[in-house]
Amino acid sequence: MTDNIARALALKAQNQSSEGSTKVNKQIESLKEELAEKQPAGNYLTEETDPTVPEWAKQTSKPTYTASEIGALSEDTVIPSRTSELTNDSHYATESQLLSISYSNGVLKLSKGVNS
């Protein structure tokens, strides 16, 4: 009896799978028909006709420039990712030079080690 139930369930699942597949195929065909009405095959814009687009932009190969020609950094330029990698050539106060700042009665006071 258990075998009969298993067979019946397997047949039912197979039929549902087949019906589902048929339904999906019908939906795909329906979408293809709808899309065909929207844009007929082969009727695509193939040439740029906008008069405001410069001729060089319409070419298949675009111009190339070196970094120096356009004022950019060269490819081998190292860009620091931390302030500790920078050189303090302007002699700004560093953490070790400045211990505290206080403000009282309109007076700003820096204490210990600020070089002018």
- Two structure tokens written together for 58: 């319409």
71 compared with 93, residue with greater pLDDT: 71
**Token pair for residue 43?**
């009727």
Supply the pTM of this predicted model. Answer: 0.26
Q: State the pLDDT confidence band at 116, using cuts at 50, 70 and 90.
A: very low
36 inside domain: yes
73 Cβ neighbours under 8 A, 6+ residues apart: 67, 79
Q: Are 63 and 56 in contact (CB under 8 A)?
A: yes
pLDDT(31) > 90:
no
Domain that holds residue 12: 1-45
Mean pLDDT of the chain: 76
Q: Where are the alpha helices (DSSP H) in the chain?
A: 2-38, 55-58, 67-70
Q: Is residue 37 part of a domain?
A: yes
**Structural domains counted in the chain:** 1
- Residue 93 resides in a domain: no
The conformation of residue 85, written as its DSSP 8-state character, comes to: G
Residue-wise pLDDT for 39-62, tens only, equals 666 667 667 788 898 888 888 888
Residue 32 lies inside a defined structural domain of this protein: yes
- What is the spatial distance between Cα 87 and Cα 17, in angstroms, rounded to a whole number? 70
70 band by pLDDT with thresholds 50, 70 and 90: very high
